[in-house]
Structure 1
Amino acid sequence: MDRSISASEANQHFSELLRNVADGECFTVTSRGRPVARLLPIDRVQEQRAVEMLLDFVERLPRRTAGNWSRDDLYE
């Protein structure tokens, strides 16, 4: 789960924040109590994009049915 940090705190401790992100931590940056950005390691971003692309691809696949199979039919 992301740690929450205010924008002003992130600004004051930016170098430390980047080191923590490089070590694998994730942060949600807030402004006036509302989330406005996420900081996470680049490999996590690429992983999330890959998962999103895969899910998008699967959702677009045509739905097909294979008939009425019972559980017993599948084990025979």
Structure 2
Amino acid sequence: MPDEIGSYEAKTKLPEILRRVEAGEAFTITNRGKPIADVIPSRTSERLKAEAAIANILKAKRHKLSDAERDELKNSGRK
């Protein structure tokens, strides 16, 4: 259940509310106790994060290590 916040408080604390929404919280804005709007995290940011992760995986798959690079990485891990 989203936290309820009055319209005046939402107006005066908008930057703080947006930071909290970005962190995953949700709010219902009320006007005189009547629910008016829901402020929820955008699904777009989640999609963009997923697309970036997929792109990084595909980029890593395309990069082939030479035998020398592989041996250097293997030896650098042994201390």
Name the TM-score, length of structure 2 as normaliser.
Answer: 0.54
> Any gaps of 5 or more consecutive residues in structure 1?
45-76
Q: Percent identity?
A: 41
Q: Which runs of 4+ in 1 moved over 6 A?
A: none
Match of 1:71?
A: none
Instruction: Report the 3-state secondary structure (helix = DSSP H, G, I; strand = E; otherwise coil) of the residue aligned with 2:24.
Output: coil
Shift of 1:26: 0.3
Q: Distance in 2 between matches of 1:35 and 1:15?
A: 21
> Any gaps of 5 or more consecutive residues in structure 2?
45-79
Determine whether 1:42 maps to 2:42: yes
CA RMSD of aligned residues (A): 1.8
Instruction: Report the 3-state secondary structure (helix = DSSP H, G, I; strand = E; otherwise coil) of the residue aligned with 2:25.
Output: coil
Amino acid at match of 1:13: K
| Bigger fraction of residues in helix | 2
Match of 2:17?
A: 17
Match of 1:68?
A: none
Q: Distance in 2 between matches of 1:34 and 1:43?
A: 26
Determine whether 1:30 maps to 2:42: no
Q: Distance in 2 between matches of 1:33 and 1:23?
A: 25
How many pairs does the alignment contain? 45
Instruction: Report the 3-state secondary structure (helix = DSSP H, G, I; strand = E; otherwise coil) of the residue aligned with 1:15.
Output: helix
Amino acid at match of 1:2: P
Amino acid at match of 1:9: E
